[in-house]
Amino acid sequence: MGKDQVVNVGQRTSLYRMISRLEDAGLIVAGDTERDERYPERTVYRVTDAGRSATRQWLAEILAAPRNEFPEFPAALSFVLMLPPETAPELLSERRGRLQEQIAALDTDLAIQAGEHRLPRVALLETEYVRAVTHAELQWVTAVTAELADGSFTWNRRELDALASGAHAPNGTGSE
């Protein structure tokens, strides 16, 4: 149901390790084993009372208080100064195209889930959120790319070396 947009399960072995940890902690218990002729046998797990309580506590903490999740893109931006300024617009333009594709795919997914599958909005909140964040990133990337293209935003190695050596303070006053 699109949870792969917001949950990184990784490999199947990671999923099985997580299930084992949840079971060891008493948060889930194995239930029935089902078999569908098209798929291998699978175990259905049930959430325990302790699991339900832990989930509610986790949800309350996560929903109420923002926290830094350390995504890769801002980390890469912190090192963009290592590239020549003429390289950044090319890379950001490529990202912009991919963001546009992601938004189109999210729009399609939302339309299908709400229309054909008639899912209530509450079941689509994470997709709405991912779309909103992706749209905000697209706007920001578009603005920075335009500034790089028109020359209103740039950098050069000499200024960066001076800054690194302490010869130029960030406020433009210089340092002695």
d(CA 175, CA 166): 6
Query: What range defines the domain where residue 1 resides?
Result: 1-67
- Over residues 42-69, the pLDDT tens digits come to 889 999 999 999 999 999 999 999 998 8
| Residue 172 domain flag | no
| Residue 15 domain flag | yes
pLDDT at position 7 over 70: no
pLDDT at position 9 over 70: no
| Residue 23 domain flag | yes
Distances from the Cα of 154 to the Cα of 42, 59, 130, angstroms = 56, 42, 30
| Residue 38 domain flag | yes
**What pLDDT shows up at residue 12?**
64
Closest CA to 89 of 157, 155, 141: 141
- Over residues 69-101, the pLDDT tens digits come to 889 999 999 999 999 888 999 999 999 999 999
**Residue written as tokens 């929903």?**
63
| Residue 63 domain flag | yes
pLDDT at position 10 over 50: yes
> How many structural domains compose the chain?
1
DSSP string, 92-152: HHHHHHHHHHHHHHHHHHHHHHHTTS---GGGGHHHHHHHHHHHHHHHHHHHHHHHHHHTS
**What pLDDT shows up at residue 173?**
47
Q: Average of pLDDT values for 5-20?
A: 74
**What pLDDT shows up at residue 128?**
96
